Structure 1
Amino acid sequence: MLRQPVPPTGEELTYVGDDDSEFFRHVHGRSLNTLNTSYLLPSDRDEVKRSEYHHRMLKFVFGGQNYVGPVREALQFGQQRRVLDLGTGGGLWAIEMADEFPRAEVIGIDLAPIQPRDVPPNCTFELCDLDQRSIPYPDGYFDLIHARSMFMGIHNYPRFLREVSRLLRPGGLVILIEPDLTPTIDPSSPAVSSQPDASGWFTFWETYHTCLRRQRIDPTVPQRMADLLVSTGMFENIVRREGNIPVGSWPREPVALTVGQLQWMDYELLLPALRPFFLTVGLPETTVRSLVADAQHDLYHPSVNLSCRINIVHASKRL
């Protein structure tokens, strides 16, 4: 049975009781985690909703599945199978994997307790800061590790991949999925002679790149994940996939249309969600207001067919 997170009726998530000050802090009008104060995306109702849109969009991209690569083979190894979801967010991926593989122990870890309480018996959620030297599990403990849309919280991605390798058993599988932060225009857009303009959209993402670098986050990680896996010397059977994701309702093919609409809803929530990030790294309020408003204008009234790229890599730990 698919279990969806059902936030309470109040403005904030209250899975931890009335006093949640240990887990959440308020920054520029949004709730953020307290475990890693350098991670500046919210941990609140809208972010859980955005996580759900992103999850549903990728399931359409993967043909109704939660994964790519030899997942079933990885989970046929031994008697006790273990799955780790890094940066689980709202927890939907971990919950659905626990339902699909009831003999596997599925653990989702995140910076904030924003996951639902009603979960399968083989699924648990734990708090953990992934941007640290050691993730607190034994060597070779997991058969499958999944990390999706979370590189913005990792300052040293090569070190993170070495830690992933330590946690995997020999032959275990890692799946990395990250959206490219450089937007694109689909070739089906109107001809250049019609003078399409999406300057607000592109300026927003260029500014995001610049601010990530200020925070010592490498915005080119999504495009380089396969090469970074190779450089560890710990993985083999590395497979890299990428593709264009439409943004909005311009595709005509039904599945692509659904993907585009879900990605549009994801972005609609992401634009204002980045306001605390921009303000915290030092951009003036007026600049941030204009950045968000101009990007929203291009999202709501597109003169071009917007798209983005998704980067997917899976690999096995060397035997």
Structure 2
Amino acid sequence: MSAYQHRIFSDPQFEIDFVGPDDSSFFRTILGFRFNTTNTRYMIPADEDAVRRSHLLYHMVWFLFKGKRYLGPVAEVLRANFDGRQRQILDLGTGGGQWAIGIADEFPRVEVTGVDLAPIQPRLVPSNCTFDICDLDVPEFPYPADSYDFVHARVMHTGISDYTQFLRDIGRVLRPGGMVLLVELELEAMADGRMASEFQGYSGLSGWFSLWEAYQYCLKRRGIDVNVPKKLGRLLEEAASFRNITVRVDSVPIGFWPRNSSDLVVGETSWMYYDSLLPSMLPILMESGYSEGHAKVLIRSAQEDLYHPIVHTCTQLHTAWAIKK
């Protein structure tokens, strides 16, 4: 393990600087929540609860992937066509940095770079792991072409206004034969294995369904395509840089209702993730035109459905991976 300083990529010149002991300039406070200052359009907090959610998300996906950090031929890609060049992994939207740190431990000879909007990652990390502060919702990342062997992006499409361009730029920075892995959570509310749009009425989950409808409305106002998780495979095809595209959809229970032990662990972890996420939606709801009272009622009603569900709450995890041509 080694201590380090976060690197900062400044737009538009992409000059590199470093975060010192005082990182307060990277945060602002709204309605009692702490947000990043790198991209003020992104309205999900970057506070201690966000770090906790990052940990919970990491473990939820770990359980769904049966004790693996990734799907697809990652190890084979990192070994392929070895030419003496340092192998490089890029983790986009690294959050609390758990995945980047874990993959750096798993592949100690590979350099891992985690990228996020705020320095909320640990300062003591493996020697082959670093973190960059950078806005990725830009026409071009501050990384050179054909330089990375593996690019990972997890649950970050809500911060990307042009996901097709985002994938094109991933294709640009990957070397030929490199791999991309995309992991996104469904945004449409679900219960008993069905989408909200399949229900007539709300069948006992009106609060939960209403909040997720409102959240999607807020994202659409910001130009976010809320259907990205459902169409990862098609978007990779449209990006035109990839082959061997593989798509997988996992059912994710939310809560304590599953009967088998493996699903129950996922359900408990996802329940804690959403329990933390719901209050953090207050600022984006209010910024999108909801009154404080209305926004709080939406959140409280969703919490009531989360705490006392009448039906089985669930969601889906959409995963896609592909190789650069």
TM-score by length of 1: 0.91
Q: Residue 146 of structure 1 aligns to which amino acid in structure 2?
A: H
Partner of 2:100: 94
Secondary structure at the residue paired with 1:311? strand
Residue from 286, 289, 294 that aligns with 1:287? 294
Q: Distance in 1 between matches of 2:230 and 2:87?
A: 30
Partner of 1:113: 119
Partner of 1:6: none
Secondary structure at the residue paired with 2:25? coil
Partner of 2:10: none
Secondary structure at the residue paired with 2:130? strand
Residue from 129, 138, 146 that aligns with 1:140? 146
1:75–1:81 CA contact under 8 A, matched in 2: yes
Partner of 1:216: 223
TM-score by length of 2: 0.89
Query: What CA deviation, in whole Å up to 9, does each residue of 1:112-163 have, x standing for no partner?
Result: 0000011000000010100011111110110000000000100011110000
Q: CA deviation at 1:256?
A: 0.4
Partner of 1:307: 314
Q: 1:141 to 1:187 in 2, by over 3 A?
A: closer
Q: How does 1:200-239 map to 2 (within 5 A)?
A: 200-239=207-246
Partner of 1:7: none
* Bigger mean CA deviation after superposition, 237-246 or 73-82: 73-82
Q: CA deviation at 1:315?
A: 0.3
2:89–2:112 CA contact under 8 A, matched in 1: yes
Q: Distance in 2 between matches of 1:214 and 1:16?
A: 36
Partner of 1:127: 133
2:77–2:177 CA contact under 8 A, matched in 1: yes
Q: CA deviation at 1:243?
A: 1.8
Tell me whether 1:76 sits opposite 2:79 in the alignment.
yes
Unaligned runs of 5+ in 2: 2-18
Q: Residue 111 of structure 2 aligns to which amino acid in structure 1?
A: E
Q: Distance in 1 between matches of 2:20 and 2:273?
A: 26
Q: Residue 90 of structure 2 aligns to which amino acid in structure 1?
A: L
Secondary structure at the residue paired with 1:181? coil
Q: How does 1:44-83 map to 2 (within 5 A)?
A: 44-77=47-80, 78=82, 79=84, 80-83=86-89
Partner of 2:273: 266
Secondary structure at the residue paired with 2:62? helix
Tell me whether 1:28 sits opposite 2:31 in the alignment.
yes
Secondary structure at the residue paired with 1:260? helix
Q: Distance in 2 between matches of 1:138 and 1:196?
A: 51
2:193–2:314 CA contact under 8 A, matched in 1: no
Q: 1:187 to 1:83 in 2, by over 3 A?
A: closer
2:192–2:313 CA contact under 8 A, matched in 1: yes
Q: CA deviation at 1:187?
A: 5.0
Q: CA deviation at 1:21?
A: 3.2
Residue from 141, 146, 155 that aligns with 1:149? 155
1:183–1:309 CA contact under 8 A, matched in 2: no
Secondary structure at the residue paired with 2:245? strand
Q: Distance in 2 between matches of 1:187 and 1:35?
A: 38
Partner of 2:254: 247
Secondary structure at the residue paired with 1:129? coil
Q: Residue 155 of structure 2 aligns to which amino acid in structure 1?
A: S
Query: What CA deviation, in whole Å up to 9, does each residue of 1:258-302 have, x standing for no partner?
Result: 000000000000000111111112211011010000000000000
Secondary structure at the residue paired with 1:293? helix
Q: Distance in 1 between matches of 2:309 and 2:95?
A: 29
2:64–2:250 CA contact under 8 A, matched in 1: no
Q: Distance in 2 between matches of 1:184 and 1:16?
A: 44
1:135–1:163 CA contact under 8 A, matched in 2: yes
Q: Distance in 1 between matches of 2:284 and 2:24?
A: 20
Identical counterparts, % of pairs: 47
Q: CA deviation at 1:16?
A: 5.3
Query: RMSD of the alignment, in Å?
Result: 1.5
Query: What CA deviation, in whole Å up to 9, does each residue of 1:43-95 have, x standing for no partner?
Result: 11001001100100100000100000000011113232100000000000000
Unaligned runs of 5+ in 1: 2-14
Partner of 2:171: 165
Q: Which runs of 4+ in 1 moved over 6 A?
A: none
Q: Distance in 2 between matches of 1:240 and 1:258?
A: 24
Q: Distance in 1 between matches of 2:286 and 2:235?
A: 31
Q: Distance in 2 between matches of 1:26 and 1:280?
A: 14
Query: What CA deviation, in whole Å up to 9, does each residue of 1:86-115 have, x standing for no partner?
Result: 000000000000000001000000000000
Q: CA deviation at 1:22?
A: 1.4
Partner of 2:7: none
